[in-house]
């Protein structure tokens, strides 16, 4: 029993949340959905910052809330990173970090704060007050402060949403390093599919206060019928290993069970695991393998499903040696090529984005 089990019925006028989920208490689980879908409310219910009218919550077999009991927030072994950092303005960075650390017994200090300070690159900021920090620095201090209590569960509420693009790019690598270094399970609320694709192992998709899908990020991203990314375009993830570099043309090859993909030269070691994203709109289909084309990445695939998406478009699910990717094509093309489940085709991939 290492999972997080949450059942909540929570309502106020104009909004109702009704969830019943079991989440793996390891890795990063993204709670994803559009604004107003109840993501933040779910996170606050788990933290005990809000109290559901009707709720059950158990983390790693320990009951935090049921019909008869409610563990107050300060008694829950969690860390919380707010969207707006919420550093204490009257304390400098060092005393902000010490705030939580001082309040847990020395025996339960499992996270070495010095290591976290290095990891997040906030060592030089120790004597500054929060009003002398940039947005990105503030958020990194807030993350370190939350880790200072050695939480058994880290809750992050859109920690990048209040930052501009440059600051996001500044903080994201630190989040990835945390993921790779610490053993603490993370619930990560976000409405940015790019962040989720980069960081999350699992995801829960919320819409209108209900769970509409949950599962591994790779699986969910490859599903054609989810409202995952209305602005961003849907796209599947591929996990692969770096095979070799071509120094002449400055390219990097990666391999996965479905074949080999060529990317612009990446600063990665041969053999390193990477995650790439292939947007459905960057994939086109041919019946025979094309020659005389400038497209390098052409892989044999098998059609597994076709989902209509709007009046003229369809999203075709493709199997590449066990990995699913999506292709966005016109309905006219579906008919012209006679696409149907089981058909062997070739996928021409125009763009591959390296995520991590």
140 near other proteins (CB under 8 A): no
Q: Among residue numbers 158 through 177, which ones bind other proteins (CB under 8 A)?
A: none
Q: Among residue numbers 30 through 49, which ones bind other proteins (CB under 8 A)?
A: 47, 49
73 near other proteins (CB under 8 A): yes
Residues in binding contact with other proteins, number by CB under 8 A: 23
120 near other proteins (CB under 8 A): no
Q: Residue 262: beta bridge partners?
A: 253
Residue 249 CB, nearest distance to other proteins (Å)? 51
334, 337, 339, 345 alpha-carbon torsion, rounded to 10°: -120
12 near other proteins (CB under 8 A): no
Angle made by CA atoms 172, 176, 177, in degrees to the nearest 5: 115
Q: Is residue 211 within 8 Å of 176, Cβ to Cβ?
A: no
Site string for other proteins, 79-118 (x = CB under 8 A): xx-x-x-xxxxx--------xx--xx--------------
Q: Is residue 150 within 8 Å of 120, Cβ to Cβ?
A: no
Residue 230 CB, nearest distance to other proteins (Å)? 30
74 near other proteins (CB under 8 A): yes
Residue 141 CB, nearest distance to other proteins (Å)? 12
Q: By C-beta, is 74 or 230 nearer to other proteins?
A: 74
Question: Does an H or E element contain 154, and which?
Answer: strand 153-157
Q: Is residue 236 within 8 Å of 222, Cβ to Cβ?
A: yes
By CB under 8 A, name the one of 16, 24, 61, 72 that touches other proteins: 72
Residue 25 CB, nearest distance to other proteins (Å)? 18
Q: By C-beta, is 104 or 354 nearer to other proteins?
A: 104
145 near other proteins (CB under 8 A): yes
Q: Which stretch binds other proteins (CB under 8 A): 17-25, 142-150, 299-307, 324-332?
A: 142-150
Residue 83 CB, nearest distance to other proteins (Å)? 10
Q: By C-beta, is 73 or 313 nearer to other proteins?
A: 73
Q: Is residue 31 within 8 Å of 206, Cβ to Cβ?
A: yes
- At a CB cut-off of 8 Å and minimum separation 6, what does 157 contact? 40, 43, 44, 80, 81, 82, 83, 189
Residue 49 CB, nearest distance to other proteins (Å)? 5
Residue 145 CB, nearest distance to other proteins (Å)? 7
Residue whose C-alpha is closest to residue 310's, from 327, 326, 329: 329
Sort strands 344-349 and 353-354 into parallel, antiparallel or unpaired.
unpaired
What burial letters (b/e) apply to 135-162, b meaning 16+ CB within 10 Å?
bbbbbbbbbbbbbbbbbbbbbbbbbbee
Q: By C-beta, is 55 or 235 nearer to other proteins?
A: 55
How far apart CA 214 and CA 10 sit, in angstroms, is: 20
Positions in the binding site for other proteins (CB under 8 A): 47, 49, 72-74, 78-80, 82, 84, 86-90, 99-100, 103-104, 145-146, 148-149
């Amino acid at each position: 029993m290492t999972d997080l089990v949450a059942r909540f019925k929570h309502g106020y006028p104009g909004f109702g949340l009704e969830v019943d989920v079991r989440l793996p208490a390891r890795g990063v689980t993204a709670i994803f959905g559009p604004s107003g879908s109840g993501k933040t409310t779910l996170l606050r219910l788990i933290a005990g910052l809000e109290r559901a009218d009707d709720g059950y919550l158990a983390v790693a077999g320990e009951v935090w809330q049921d019909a008869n009991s409610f563990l107050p927030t300060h008694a829950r072994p969690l860390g919380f990173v707010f969207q707006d950092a919420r550093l204490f303005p009257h304390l400098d960075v060092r005393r902000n970090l010490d705030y939580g650390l001082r309040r847990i017994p020395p025996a339960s200090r499992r996270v070495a704060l010095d290591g976290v300070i290095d990891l997040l690159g906030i060592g030089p900021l120790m004597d500054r007050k929060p009003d002398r920090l940039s947005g990105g620095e503030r958020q990194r201090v807030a993350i370190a402060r939350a880790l200072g209590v050695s939480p058994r569960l880290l809750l992050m509420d859109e920690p990048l949403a209040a930052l501009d693009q440059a600051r996001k790019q500044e903080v994201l690598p630190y989040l990835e390093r945390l993921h790779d270094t610490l053993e603490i399970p993370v619930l990560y609320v976000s409405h940015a599919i790019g962040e989720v694709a980069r960081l999350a192992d699992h995801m829960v998709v919320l819409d209108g206060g209900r769970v509409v899908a949950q599962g591994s990020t790779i699986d969910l991203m490859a599903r054609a019928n989810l409202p995952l990314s209305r602005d961003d375009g849907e796209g599947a993830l591929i996990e692969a290993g770096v095979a070799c570099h071509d120094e002449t043309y400055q390219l990097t090859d990666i391999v996965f069970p479905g074949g080999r993909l060529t990317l612009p030269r990446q600063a990665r070691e041969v053999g390193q695991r990477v995650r790439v994203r292939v947007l459905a709109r960057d994939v086109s289909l041919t019946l025979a393998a094309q020659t005389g084309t400038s497209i390098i990445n052409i892989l044999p695939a098998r059609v597994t499903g076709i989902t209509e998406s709007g009046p003229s478009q369809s999203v075709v699910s493709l199997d590449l040696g066990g990995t699913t990717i999506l292709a966005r094509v016109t309905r006219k093309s579906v008919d012209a090529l006679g696409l149907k489940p089981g058909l062997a085709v070739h996928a021409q991939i125009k763009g591959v984005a390296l995520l991590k």
